[in-house]
Chains A and B, each alone.
Chain A
């Protein structure tokens, strides 16, 4: 039978009379948990930002026509040479078009698929930007602008102007930020582009696009799909890329395999394309947890030490408690509850400190050319981190408190009383 009220009362009195040790032990936990919360929030915030930077611009599945040599050269199809060694020199890519065959039916098919959130057609064209006598090489991608805005955070990357302006103006262009700077152009100005074939078209700048990756911003611009088709002199069904967004990211790999087989085109899924980012995130998370656990272990040793000392100091008290009818497990509970109270108080304080620091870091200005949408340090405030934090705190204090309290349980009162 356990009488919690009495046990907690004794634990409380011990803690209050040893205020200094209690505070020291609690602050150890506070420090550990606070550091964990801050670290994990900041680190995952950074991770997410970096992932977003790359991944948001990557469709879940990217369909395109790869220019590549035929896997089976004609000679290998010829039965007479079946058992001989055939050497083909100077293999050339298969004669094919850049455009996706039957792009419009494929789009229709994808849009009807229930697992697909959306599919957008694109046409990439090589062009030159003309600025006086200077020609700057680059890409112009024709897009369905409103679909892109719906499916990705495309809008975030337009630092001047708006996607609606592009939709409303047939001859509009969203110019890359690097290009705009080079040519000293802004929204409302006109820029002339020339196709590879030589024809020149004037386009009106309705917005500036900045992805944060300089190499892209120096060459990439966007215009309406129909405009790019017209400039390149291609038909309405000329589509070089289809970007697919799914509801469930995990479906990307099987779906891409299926599409590849079904339509005989190249399909790349997001995970294959960005495998290295996953690895980077995993390692950063690993470091965060390693540091936090180290801090908590240090805090745990602090609690272990303080409780051990307390138990040596309280030998006489333990003996008298046992003599007057408290059982060994009662005594253990007294010291365990002290450890748990330290863990709980320190842990909760740690959560508050961690939250405060996260909010503080979130307010710090973080201005960088490369990231137009980011103005402060990224912090990922997730409730689950706070749950993990408090569980960590209780777990480490439980372990740290168990060993000394177990010793207190085993103390033989006769030996203490007679020893005096």
Chain B
């Protein structure tokens, strides 16, 4: 099996307010087409780990591979490019640009990537929205739609550049059970229909149970992978 993501002996220490060893020798792999979840108590370091894996946090020791390519130590400019192209992100809070329309929000990462023409990007964005059953919202302002809809728009945006891996930080944490269920279904469908790899940090045991693999963390260590 091909590995899309691999962490080797990742350590991180928070310097402020006091020295705190938050991640201790984290090593694990995510396989292609795998839907993995990271579980753990608050403060176990699971979100911190996710942000390191997402390349946004560069203050750590150890090595991180994405598609078998070492990304540790690359410049911010290159890391931005990698995030843009290979990593889709869904947060606990929706994080859409409220002044832009739903469609523009979805198109933005693809425009930044600038590989496809404007026309193709628009078509792709509509396709993603249709797939998530929110095609009718395309022209609405991002601030005028409901929470569940926002999260689905965020998923569409995460998918626009056909990333290698989709990461989620409590993507259902802020949703009611109906919408949470909906998001879970979407994730599973993406994995099954498109072979997408997913790595999701969650508190929700029910959510975690329906994933392929649960990585459990405690006090900065992986206790069960």
Contact = CB atoms under 8 A, between A and B. Distances in A.
Interface stretch (A261-269, A345-353, A411-419): A411-419
Interface residues of B, number: 31
B51 A414 contact: yes
Nearest to A314: B97
A324 B56 contact: no
Interface string A1-17: 10101100110011001
Interface in A303-354: 316-317, 319-330
A420 interface: yes
Contact of A325 (B84, B93, B95, B99): B84
A322 B80 contact: yes
A54 B176 CA distance: 86
B180 to A, nearest CB: 18
A414 B81 CA distance: 17
Contacts of A322: 56, 80
Contacts of A5: 111
Interface residue range, chain A:
20 to 34
A374 B111 CA distance: 61
B112 A326 contact: yes
Contacts of B213: none
A3 B111 CA distance: 8
B77 interface: yes
Given A316-B95, A413-B56, A417-B91, A323 B76 contact: no
Contacts, number: 74
Question: Which of A10, A17, A325, A330 has the largest count of B CB atoms less than 10 A from its CB?
Answer: A325
Contacts of B97: 10, 317, 320-321
Contacts of B100: 13
B222 to A, nearest CB: 20
Contacts of B81: 1, 325, 327
B204 interface: no
B157 A324 contact: yes
B77 A324 contact: no
Contacts of B54: 323
A215 B56 CA distance: 82
Contacts of B96: 320
A329 B112 CA distance: 13
B172 interface: no
B202 to A, nearest CB: 15
A407 B197 CA distance: 35
Given A1-B114, A321-B97, 16 more contacts: A6-B111, A10-B97, A316-B95, A322-B80, A323-B54, A323-B95, A325-B84, A325-B85, A325-B112, A325-B113, A327-B77, A327-B81, A328-B76, A414-B57, A420-B92, A420-B93
8 contacts: A10-B97, A316-B95, A321-B108, A323-B54, A324-B112, A325-B80, A327-B77, A330-B112
Interface of A: 1, 3, 5-6, 9-10, 13-14, 17, 316-317, 319-330, 413-414, 417-418, 420
Interface of B: 47, 51, 54, 56-57, 76-77, 80-81, 83-85, 89, 91-93, 95-100, 108-109, 111-114, 157, 161, 169
